[in-house]
Amino acid sequence: MAQIVKGQTGDWEIVIGMEVHAQITTKSKLFSGSSTEFGAAPNSQVSLVDAAMPGMLPVLNEYCVEQAVRTGLGINSEINLYSVFERKNYFYPDLPQGYQISQFLHPIVGKGAIEIDMPDGSVKTIGVTRLHLEQDAGKSVHDQHPTKSYVDLNRSGCALMEIVSEPDIRGADEAVAYLAKLRMILQYLGTCNGNMEEGSMRADVNVSMRKPGDPLGTRCEIKNVNSLKAVQMAVDYESRRQVEVLEAGGSIKQETRLWDPSKGETRSMRSKEEAHDYRYFPDPDLLPLELKNEWVLKIKETLPELPDQKKHRFMSEFGLSSYDAGVLIAERSRADFYELVAKGRDAKLAANWTLNELLALLNKDQKPISESPVSAENLGLLIARISDSTISGKIAKDVFAEMYATGNNPDSIIETKGLKQVTDSGAIEKIVDEVIAENPDNVAAYKGGKDKLFGFFVGQVLKKSQGKANPDMVNELLKKKLN
């Protein structure tokens, strides 16, 4: 469902296309052997190539190419066996080469598609225009000295994939869903860690408005949007701003705008008229990149199960709802954890415990599943103890709380705390008799027709057994004695 902005002249439709820069997960840079590790001391990971010393020659990192191909396959895109690196010329203090090596006319990956999942359960396909490889620039640092700016070239030459979407996105929710899905796919593939806070993934959001059915309007490109929440807020702000301009009789100038998270607004950075002419031309230091189809097919064979496939398998193999499956596959580590819990156990029970108990606590403590004090093996064991009636579901909650607090295994907790369910009919019968003897009035009332009191007796017996009596046996014995 397209998001509509209500104006004074009627409804307006939001049109969005996104350009996402994703830093490739790789140990070394796109054209040099320098390390790409995040957080190193400034300028400690800069080779002569990255510093653009005269006469240095770039050498293409094969692994980065492999990662781009893997990504292209993961987003259902055409892989171009022939692609070309070009120089994109511009001046910036943190770009010592004076140009960025990028791809322009011949990108490594062509058209594709990404399915996005909307909160109402519907699925929509967003077209991918292209994915190309390029180098990142360095970083200017303005907050380390009162009057000077510094340049840190650690990031200079790091490998980026730029993934460009078609203008198929129709609102803030879809934009968020697109970015979240793309990030999930990259994380599953292991081609980008998707960490938006560290800037490993950055989105440029192009927004235009139109009356439903009209041709596309003029767009503005919002740069520097670095979280899902910021995408939501930037689109909401920008769409309203454009409607106000248009309804006041003005027109939208194509321009680049900056999202300011502290003010919650976008503002003009540069207009298209002053935009750079990059003078792209094929980099004479690099031959066109020609890939062998067999090599691409080999990479295809090593693709992991992707989020959509995993979700559908969880639904068919484990009988989970679309919602539960969606939450479990949202992170690959979470899905792997769940599969370990469910292995050889009641899969639905395993899903309930993983989602409603474990993830609920982890969320509260703001911990990722990798830091869960309860291991998948131990949670699986707990499920097994419920299924084989060693403990009741109610006692299991206490055992689980103890597991979460101590990291201990459920069997030792059940053992040392004496929580084993009582299935000895003699012992249960004794308690049943006691409860009947202690409550003559209720017994009389029950026999007189107050059927609802049965629950009272069950509760009393369970309470007396400290929750350990097997509920089925309690029911059976009470029925026998009371009827």
User: What string of DSSP letters covers 11-70?
Assistant: EEEEEEEEEEEEE---SB-SSS--B--TTPPTTSS--TTTTT-TT------HHHHHHHHH
Single out the segment in contact with ligand ADP by CB under 6 A; choices: 4-12, 213-221, 415-423, 475-483.
Answer: 213-221
At 254 the three-state DSSP class reads coil
- Nearest residue to 207 via CA among 2, 13, 15: 15
Phi, psi of 250, deg, nearest 5: -85, 180
The CB-of-333 to ligand ADP minimum distance in angstroms stands at: 30
DSSP run (H or E) holding 257 = strand 255-260
Per DSSP, what are the bridge partners of residue 5?
A: 12
The CB-of-206 to ligand ADP minimum distance in angstroms stands at: 4
Measured from the CB atom, the residue of 96 and 167 that comes closer to ligand ADP is 167
Q: Which of 87, 132, 219, 223 binds ligand ADP (CB under 6 A)?
A: 219
Q: Return d(Cα 132, Cα 113) in angstroms, integer.
A: 15
Q: Return d(Cα 345, Cα 244) in angstroms, integer.
A: 58
Q: CA-based diameter of the chain, in Å?
A: 102
Q: Return d(Cα 50, Cα 29) in angstroms, integer.
A: 9
- Give, as ranges, the residues between 142 and 181 that touch ligand ADP (CB under 6 A): 164-167
Q: Is residue 126 a contact residue for ligand ADP (CB under 6 A)? A: no
Q: Which of 3, 12, 13, 18 binds ligand ADP (CB under 6 A)?
A: 18
Single out the segment in contact with ligand ADP by CB under 6 A; choices: 9-17, 111-119, 368-376, 400-408.
Answer: 9-17
Please identify the residue of the shown chain whose CB is closest to the bound ligand ADP.
17
Measured from the CB atom, the residue of 14 and 69 that comes closer to ligand ADP is 14
Q: What number of other Cβ atoms are within 10 A of residue 425's Cβ?
A: 13
Q: Which of 71, 208, 239, 390 binds ligand ADP (CB under 6 A)?
A: 208
Q: Which of 15, 399, 413, 414 binds ligand ADP (CB under 6 A)?
A: 15
Q: Is residue 16 a contact residue for ligand ADP (CB under 6 A)? A: yes
Q: Which of 206, 224, 372, 465 binds ligand ADP (CB under 6 A)?
A: 206
Measured from the CB atom, the residue of 221 and 324 that comes closer to ligand ADP is 221
Q: Is residue 110 a contact residue for ligand ADP (CB under 6 A)? A: no
Measured from the CB atom, the residue of 131 and 436 that comes closer to ligand ADP is 131
Q: Which of 12, 17, 128, 257 binds ligand ADP (CB under 6 A)?
A: 17
Q: What number of other Cβ atoms are within 10 A of residue 459's Cβ?
A: 12
DSSP run (H or E) holding 452 = none
Say how many residues touch ligand ADP, by CB under 6 A: 16
Measured from the CB atom, the residue of 15 and 381 that comes closer to ligand ADP is 15
Single out the segment in contact with ligand ADP by CB under 6 A; choices: 12-20, 114-122, 189-197, 453-461.
Answer: 12-20
The CB-of-163 to ligand ADP minimum distance in angstroms stands at: 9
In our burial notation (b when 16+ CB lie closer than 10 A, e otherwise), range 276-297 reads eeeebebbeebeebebeeeebe
Q: Which two tokens stand for residue 347?
A: 């899969």
Residue ranges in contact with ligand ADP by CB under 6 A:
15-19, 164-167, 206-208, 216-217, 219, 221
